[in-house]
Structure 1
Amino acid sequence: MVLTPTGLRFRRRTLPCTVGAGGIRSEKRERDGATPHGVHRITGMFYRPDRMPPPAPWARPIGPRDLWCDAPEHPAYNRLVRAPFDASAERLRRADRLYDLVLTTDWNWPDAEPYRGSAIFLHRWRGPVRPTEGCVALAPADLRWLAVRVRVGTRLVVR
């Protein structure tokens, strides 16, 4: 997969997408709204089992207590955690549909450096011109198309 100014290119298709409001940056920091530049890998897939069937055999269901730690100084920074949790974390099971299907990346993972950025995912967009907080977001049908074709280790090149 290659992220270009025209979209996310994969298997001869270019999928429209949005990136972080802070643009694409080499020096990513927590809460800067930027999408990190570089070569990343897909590390996992989560989905809402109450809203869709698993898109791939290796996809993991999102449970009601699943969170992603975004507290830079916590030992679980940039990792899946479960509620109740004593530090800042983003809920994966959301009321909206943004995280119905999520592909995780190896940005600042598995050995996270504090404040380097967390939760850089591929997920559903809010719309074609609405930026993310640093993730790559796609239309629901395009995200689903991508999810059934990627594997753990698939490269994501962000230029």
Structure 2
Amino acid sequence: MKRTRVNLIVVRRSPLDPRRGRLEAGTLVLPCALGRSGTRRDKREGDGASPVGRFALLQGFYRADRQPRPRTGLKLRPIRPQDGWSDDPKDRRYNRPVPLPCPTSHEKMWREDHLYDVVLDIDWNRGPIRRGRGSAIFLHLARPGFSPTEGCVAIPRQAIRRLLERIGPDTRIAIVG
């Protein structure tokens, strides 16, 4: 069945628990986990908040050893064991992909916990990059029970393919505070 492409994904924070929310992509409505500190307009590195605003989805990554390439209009590439993401504000490569091993603080993209089996790069603090304003803000897979993220948006594993089929390079994500 051909899906209608959506231009806007809206993430709304729950009024009952600021660490949880609802992601809406056209007719697709999903529960989601948000940052352990809820949402913030003035996001900072390490604050545990998901940033409020409207952002592009720059690219996606997936674990090719665990699944075939998902169907989507968004640019995707396989994650490799040596892929990392700098989260050190002192690193000149802050909030950018880095090769591992890396001597500065970083996220490992190749994870055993499956959270990054599919991960989308949300355009938070990506250009111009401002040191200390937050890094590695992704849309990725949720933990069981939707426990909070470190500032990302996380959705159920069983729903990621339905979302990916609906998005492309013109899709934006709006995280509502």
- Return the offset for 1:85: 1.6
Matched position secondary structure for 2:162: helix
> In structure 1, what is the equivalent of residue 36 of structure 2?
21
> In structure 2, what is the equivalent of residue 34 of structure 1?
49
> In structure 1, what is the equivalent of residue 165 of structure 2?
148
- Structure 1 unmatched runs, 5+: none
Take 1:98 and 1:91, find their aligned partners in 2: how far apart are those partners? 11
TM-score w.r.t. structure 2 length?
0.86
Take 1:23 and 1:149, find their aligned partners in 2: how far apart are those partners? 26
Contact 2:28 2:163 in 1 (8 A): no
Take 1:118 and 1:16, find their aligned partners in 2: how far apart are those partners? 23
RMSD: 1.3
> In structure 1, what is the equivalent of residue 98 of structure 2?
81
How many percent of aligned residue pairs carry the same amino acid? 43
- Alignment partner of 1:71 out of 60, 72, 88: 88
Take 1:51 and 1:148, find their aligned partners in 2: how far apart are those partners? 19
How many aligned residue pairs are there?
159
Structure 1 runs, 4 residues or longer, greater than 3 Å off: none
TM-score w.r.t. structure 1 length?
0.95
Take 1:67 and 1:153, find their aligned partners in 2: how far apart are those partners? 26
Q: 1:45 to 1:156 in 2, by over 3 A?
A: same
> In structure 1, what is the equivalent of residue 108 of structure 2?
91
The Cα offsets for residues 84-119 of structure 1, whole Å up to 9 and x where unpaired, read as 222111100011100000011110003210110001
Q: Do residues 12 (structure 1) and 8 (structure 2) align?
A: no
